[in-house]
Amino acid sequence: MPGSPRLFNLCRELSRQHELYLLTYCSSGERQQSFLSDPTAAKVFSTVEILPDPPAMTWWGQQWHRLHLAANFQTRFRFPEYYQAIRSRVREMCTRNRCDLMYVDLLPMGQYVDPGLGVPAFIDLHDSMTLMARRVLKTTRGWRQHLAISAHLLKIQQLEGSLGRKFGLVVTNSSVDEQVLGELSTGINTLTITNGVDMGYFAPDHSRVDADKIVFTGVMGYAPNEDAALFFAQEIFPLILEQRPKAEFWIVGSDPTDRVKELGRMAGVHVTGKVEDVRPYLSQAAVFVCPLRYGSGVKNKILAAMAMQKPIVATSLSIDGLDLADGREVLLADEPRAFAEKVVGLLSDPETVSRLAGNGLARVQSQYSWAAMGQALEKAIQTVMESRKPRERQAV
């Protein structure tokens, strides 16, 4: 939960009508303390319990894990005692608080849900790991890496295809991801609840816009973001500099890899690392770029930039699952030369900037607020709970 804007904002909406109890991982002591001392979190959750990290790996545990061809996040074979202990913690919390529903965040947490508990459960995948692995596989060149990802893909497909047997609803954040899950299992109940944006937090601010500042945001330790930063800096930005020699490319986000840090040595490229507040960088941007080449799910960075009324140039993959159109709310380009030309065009065309930015803000306001997403999730919860009442009466 700490560090997951999607889950926190959905829970904030649900807390208006429900009492919530949180059981979560948080390896960072600093992030954990910040979350626990946040008064907003205290209003959302009645209790917060932090789960321990897995123990150190043993040789026998690793061999048993490999023998079962388990996914890299599964703990059942690597750490059987730990696996059972976490499942017990989940059961204990549900029993102690008489929970009516379990809302599970991400596929790795799904392994700790015991169907025998009798409590209905939803799982929010955010993005389909199957779709992600398929896209990574298309960009992989070395045969060893290709073989490893292929094996991972087979296991992930099996896990996602079996979710319908344990969970009453599987939630994704885009219709593209939902379609993949439907292909994996005909008996799975799915729902798309896209990511939203906090309109009060990400508000337009035109007090200072730097005419040649280009911004890309995200967690830079995340492989798709790393690849996007490298792609733009190495293949697109030099083409922009040919026409706009004063242009600057700002890579804003935590955990930059060594490869991303090295980009800061290039003329005009700035790598900030973690920042306390991303909004000043967005407000100063003349153009926001999203040059993702693989990945899945709805991109929060796109929604935040639109909420702050910024013109956007993105790859077509970047707007998967969003009701956006090329030339209406964003400009799309997948090849370096075309991408560079569209960025340069915006840097010298205030009328197009105003039109795109205005359309983007209007789209976010009408379709992508967290309040609207929370209402969709609440409706799904009520539908499941109502469907259980006849069965409960029969059991009595």
- Is the CB of residue 54 less than 8 Å from the CB of residue 111? no
For residue 204, count CB atoms less than 10 angstroms from its CB and return exposed for 0-12, middle for 13-18, buried for 19 or more.
Answer: middle
**What CA–CA distance (Å, rounded) separates 393 from 34?**
45
- HEC secondary structure over 375-396: HHHHHHHHHHHHHHHHHHHHHC
**What CA–CA distance (Å, rounded) separates 168 from 182?**
14
- What is the reported pLDDT for 396? 40
At residue 245, does pLDDT exceed 90? yes
Q: What is the pTM of this model?
A: 0.73
- What is the reported pLDDT for 390? 55
Over residues 84-101, mean pLDDT:
95
The mean-pLDDT minimum among 71-75, 106-110, 207-211, 326-330 falls in: 207-211
- Helix (H) / strand (E) containing 156: helix 143-161
Q: How many DSSP H helices and E strands does the chain contain?
A: 17, 12
At residue 377, does pLDDT exceed 70? yes
How does residue 314 score in pLDDT terms, banded at 50, 70 and 90?
very high
The mean-pLDDT minimum among 149-153, 221-225, 242-246, 383-387 falls in: 383-387
Over residues 374-396, mean pLDDT:
73
Give me 28's structure tokens: 């960072």
- What is the reported pLDDT for 1? 53
**What CA–CA distance (Å, rounded) separates 4 from 131?**
20
How does the average pLDDT of the chain come out, rounded? Answer: 91
